[in-house]
Structures are given as C-alpha cells and as structure tokens.
Amino acid sequence: MADVHTKKQRSKNMAAIKSRNNKSTELKLGAILKANRISGWRRQYKKISGTPDFVFPREKIALFIDGCFWHGCYQDCVLPKTNRKFWINKIRDNKFRDIRINRLLRSKGWNVLRIWEHELKKTRPQKIIKFLRNKIH
C-alpha cells in the first residue's frame, strides 16, 4: 500500500513520535516487577545520562527496554520501503548512541541491562527477574 501522506507530512508525523513513555512495554515490565515483589525502582529517572526506562538507584542498575524498530532488532526490525537510506542511518545512529550511553554509565559504576521489546512477550521476563534478584541486596 502506498503512503497516503506527502514526504513533508510523513516527516512531520514521524518527528512528533517521542521515545519516552512507551507505555505498553513500560507498564508490562512494571507489572512484572510488582508481581515478583521487586521494589526500589524508578521510572524516567533523570539524574543519570540516557534516561533509562527503569532505574534502581541504590543498586546503580539502569534498565532500558529497546524498541525493536527504533533500535534495529535483528529479529523484528522491518525497514520501511520508502526513504530506506534515512531509516538505515537513523537506526545506526540509535545503536551508536546506545553504545555511547552504555559506556558512559558503566564508567560511572552503573550496571546496564538492555532488553528487547519482543523479549517481554516471550520467556525473557524470568531472566530479567533472576538478574535483578542477583543484583539487588
């Protein structure tokens, strides 16, 4: 199906999409944490770089949920057929930013955990819980 918007309108629409408050994934992980009685976390913690989705300040754990499209998931990212070069560059830049943020946070003593959006739908939640329980004292 062809895009019904002009390039200018599509660009405006895409620019309006913000990376914050991806409620479906954040709420799902929040529910998993609550169900497993894991506390001490904060959302949208702005005191560190990269604005992780969840932070455990006392334990210095930064948890990011990476959207499969925006971060170029090897399994689920399907690039649009139009403006392909733009999207390849955009996703590449996102990946480089993720690496830079990981290094910065680790250099400041933070444990960084990144999970894919699709992993919340599969068996990954139990691995996340196991990891967090091992790190939280």
CA dihedral 38, 39, 40, 45 (to 10 degrees): 80
- The whole-number average pLDDT for the span 82-109 is 94
Tell me which long-range contacts 40-46 makes (C-beta under 8 A, separation of at least 24): 40/136, 44/20
Give CA–CA dist 14/114, Å, rounded.
24
User: Lowest-pLDDT range, 14-18, 66-70, 76-80, 105-109?
Assistant: 14-18
CATH code assigned at 44:
3.40.960.10
| Per-residue pLDDT at 128 | 77
Residue 1, in any domain of the structure: no
Number of structural domains in the chain: 1
Residue 2, in any domain of the structure: no
pTM: 0.79
Residue 132's pLDDT band (cuts 50, 70, 90): confident
Q: Residue 57 above 70 pLDDT?
A: yes
Q: Check if the beta carbon of residue 92 is closer than 8 Å to that of residue 72.
A: yes
Name the residue range of residue 102's domain. 21-135
| Per-residue pLDDT at 60 | 94
Residue 84, in any domain of the structure: yes
Residue 49, in any domain of the structure: yes
Q: Residue 8 above 70 pLDDT?
A: yes
Residue 2's pLDDT band (cuts 50, 70, 90): low
Mean pLDDT (the chain) is 85
Residue 7, in any domain of the structure: no
| Per-residue pLDDT at 25 | 85
More confident residue, 1 or 67: 67
Residue 3, in any domain of the structure: no
